[in-house]
Amino acid sequence: MAANPLIDKVLEYLSHTETVDTLQLATEWEEDHQRIVGAVKSIQSSGDIIEVEQRSEVRTELTLEGREFVSKGSHEAILFAAVPSGGEGILLPDLMKITGPNGKIGMSKAMQAGWIKSVKEGNSNRVVRLKESIEDKVQETLRNVAAGTTELDKATMAEYKKRKLLVQNTVVFMVLRKARGFTTVIEKPETDLTPEMIASGDWKTKNFKAYNFDALGTPIPAGHLHPLMKVRSEFRSVLFEMGFSEMPTNRFVESSFWNFDALFVPQKHPARDAQDTFFVSQPSTCNSIPEDYMNRVKAAHEGGSYGSSGYGSNWKKEEALKNVMRTHTTAVSARMLYEIGQKKEFVPTKLFSIDRVFRNETLDATHLAEFHQVEGVVADKGINLGHLIGIMKEFFSRLGIKKLRFKPAYNPYTEPSMEVFAYHEGLKKWVEVGNSGMFRPEMLLPMGLPEDVRVIAWGLSLERPTMIRYGYDNIRDLVGPKVDLGMVYKSPICRLDKQLCGHSFGCSCNIQKDEKSDASTEEEEASLMSAKAQVRNSDKAKTRLQVIANHLALQNNKHSEKSEEKQQENMDNANPLTSHILDTSRGRPAAGVLVKLFKRGADGNWVFITEQSTNNDGRIGNLISGAQFTPAIYKLNFDTKSYFTSKGEKTFYPFIDVIFEIEKPEEHYHVPILLNAYGFSTYRGS
Ligand code: PHE
């Protein structure tokens, strides 16, 4: 006997008849239709026993209320019966009491049918019959529907459906017939051919289960790479193809020495502030730094060696020993270059790394406190800025980015430094894709590298191209607790359009167009991308500080400096706009710089508001009062002439203008300036 008694029952029934359908069986046996369908399906899977034809039928069935109408009559008929015959009738409230909750609808239907009328009487109404007897058509029709003896016309069907007296369901059922191999006794078919069957010859008589070639395979429980790791593996292969070797990056906790000092980052640099860097409390310091190297680094910082004036400040070992979560992978590059410098003979080297870094950032839709950096380093004799530009062009073109622009920038460890911009074909604008430069001799010489060795390097984030590639507006959809794990399984593999289509990061020629985007043409794709970018920008930019200054973009600089000095705090609180100038060539605050604040009037002219000189800490505050600080375009003019003259600089830029737009003046804005005689930059974070 089969495991399911219904199987035997169906086969038994079919053995006496030509054909039967499953609905018929369900009614006859008072059995759930789905269970019968289940039994039929198992018979089907046991071989060529029955023929099954699937059919569907729209069935009209009475609702609970419809069935009540059949037994008790329609609401209107019940109401009519409650109205006494003769002209006297009944007062409406009394009638409602008798007929209960369905009285109201009965009343309106009976009036519509012209069976009764309602006449005003004092404060109430009297309901009187207009006919002596009525015919309850609704009840009768529903009775016929239930018995299956009537077909309703469209209008009646619609009306009854609206009154929720009946519903129409599509029922799928099966018509069964005997097949060639019909039997009432099912022998469980074999699913596997075993060595025993072959040895005994049993296989000749056994019944085997047919292969189901439509069955889906069991998903292989393999791991899935996160999109970030997919993009990482693409970047790795590009760099391997270019002959780079990978650096060991297994050191999330790093000493300030390797993260900053070895890179000639002055100990007073704002990026070393707890504001921007995570300091490790346990263990708070590192054990050892190569002693003589450390002394050479100290000398480089303090000045007078390597033909450099250094920062002229006191370099403190305690500061260098402090452990931090590494803020960039350039710390790894520094370790590697030091190792190369220690070797007897210099060998030209190309290195890269892709790993995680940590920054104490204000979190928003595009920034997290940890992210990944892609970094490349090339060390050789006789290489120069031209090689850096060439390598950048080659590297980015292998990622599908052809149009590049370079903009002077500032890094404490590179000179010259360049931000790299790429033209984004999707967004139709230039976007920043990386930072680069030539490592300074103050960094390389203490490492023991020969004087004529030049090192070019660059870095970029892994998250940015990944977000563009996979179309994410919010980094939290990609990293963190809110990530949908299904996304990790479903994301297509990453292709960076390497040489394939000539488009850039955002290009959606292949994978993205097929699987991620709804856009069908390139123009549509472009507008989709720009719409996404707008979302991203509006998310991020509560305030748009727009620098129209000569060559640097000041980013959203809502900066809540945690100052140790009480005085500073008061200054900030009392004043929504503050500034801080750091002289990067000296690693010290720039004191005594005259700063003028202007506001742009309706006529487009600059209206002078106030002026102030930076204090010994390089700061200014109390520039403008809250009441005066209204949404407008402002200009800060930094007169650095007397400052540089006092430092004995012969050539310098005497003025800096930073122009920005304030949209939300109720917040506190901080305009930090990094300055040297040859230029300046504003910074955010690092
Ligand atoms: N370390 C830089 C950063 O954090 C990137 C960089 C690497 C710049 C190497 C120049 C040279 O953004």
Ligand 1 centroid from CA 293, angstroms: 22
Which of 247, 226, 235 has its CA nearest to residue 462? Answer: 235
Q: Which residue has the higher pLDDT, 325 or 545?
A: 325
Query: pLDDT band at residue 29, thresholds of 50, 70 and 90?
Result: very high
**pTM across the whole model:** 0.49
Separation CA 414–CA 328 (nearest Å): 14
Residue of the nearest CA to atom 5 in ligand 1?
A: 459
Q: What are phi and psi of 299, to 5 degrees?
A: -60, -40
Mutational test site, ligand 1, from 264, 358, 435, max ligand atoms within 8 Å of CB:
435
* pLDDT tens, position by position, 327-364: 999 999 999 999 999 999 999 999 999 999 999 988 88
Highest mean pLDDT pick, 202-216, 251-265, 384-398, 533-547: 251-265
Determine if ligand 1 sits within 6 Å of the CB of residue 353: no
Does residue 457 line the site of ligand 1, with CB under 6 A?
Answer: yes
Ligand 1 binding pocket mutation candidate from 351, 375, 418 (most atoms within 8 A of CB): 375
- Domain annotation for the chain: domains and CATH numbers: 1-48+175-217 (3.30.1370.240), 65-162 (1.10.10), 227-251+329-537 (3.30.930.10), 544-682 (2.60.40.180)
Alpha carbon of 367 to ligand 1 centroid (Å) = 17
333 Cα–ligand 1 center, Å: 10
Quick check: 359 and 271 in contact, CB under 8 A?
no
Q: Which residues contact 507 (CB under 8 A, 6 or more apart)?
A: 400, 425, 426, 497, 501
What is the model's pLDDT at position 173? 93
pLDDT digits (tens, 9 = 90+) for 446-504: 999 999 999 999 999 899 888 877 878 888 888 988 888 888 888 877 766 544 333 33
| pLDDT score for 77 | 95
User: Does the annotation place 683 within a ligand binding site?
Assistant: yes
Rounded to an integer, what distance in angstroms lies between the CA atom of residue 468 and that of residue 523? 17
CA of 506 to the centre of ligand 1 (A): 23
Q: Residue 439 CA: which ligand 1 atom is closest?
A: 11
Tell me if 424 sits within 8 A of 497, measured CB to CB: no
For ligand 1, whether the C-beta of 435 sits within 6 Å is yes
- Residue 668 assigned ligand-binding role: no
Ligand 1 pocket test: pick from 370, 373, 395, 440 the residue with the most ligand atoms within 8 Å of its Cβ: 373
Q: Tell me how far apart the alpha carbons of residues 317 and 289 are, in angstroms, rounded to a whole number.
A: 10
pLDDT value at 658 more than 50: yes
Of 70-84, 182-196, 541-555, which one has max mean pLDDT?
70-84
Atom of ligand 1 nearest to the CA of 357: 4
* Residue 31: per-residue pLDDT: 93
Q: Which atom of ligand 1 is nearest to the CA of 328?
A: 4
- Least confidently predicted of 55-59, 125-129, 132-136: 55-59
> Known binder of ligand: residue 372?
no
**pLDDT tens by residue, 66-104:** 999 999 999 999 999 999 988 889 999 999 999 999 999
Predicted local distance difference test score (pLDDT) of residue 497: 57
Ligand 1 within 6 A of CB of 260: no
What are the backbone angles phi and psi of residue 554, rounded to the nearest 5°?
-90, 120
Q: Which residue has the higher pLDDT, 313 or 15?
A: 15
Specify the range with the lowest mean pLDDT, choosing from 191-205, 288-302, 461-475, 538-552.
Answer: 538-552
Q: What is the pLDDT of residue 469?
A: 76
pLDDT at residue 559 greater than cutoff 50 = no
Pocket test for ligand 1, best of 277, 325, 411, 464 (most atoms within 8 A of CB): 411
What does the mean pLDDT of the chain come to?
Answer: 82
CB 328 within 8 Å of CB 259: yes
Residue 458 Cβ < 6 Å to ligand 1? yes
Nearest to 625 by CA among 604, 610, 606, 605: 610
Pairing of strands 349-358, 245-246: parallel
Structure tokens at 674: 């990094």
459 CB within 6 A, ligand 1: yes
- In short, whether 411's Cβ falls inside 6 Å of ligand 1 is yes
Task: Tell whether the model's pLDDT for residue 554 goes beyond 50.
Answer: no
Establish whether residue 330 lines the binding site of ligand 1, counting it when its CB lies within 6 angstroms of any ligand atom.
yes
Q: How far apart are CA 353 and CA 450, in angstroms?
A: 24
Residue 328 near ligand 1, beta carbon < 6 Å: yes
At residue 681, the pLDDT reads: 65
The CB of 575 under 6 Å from ligand 1? The reply is no
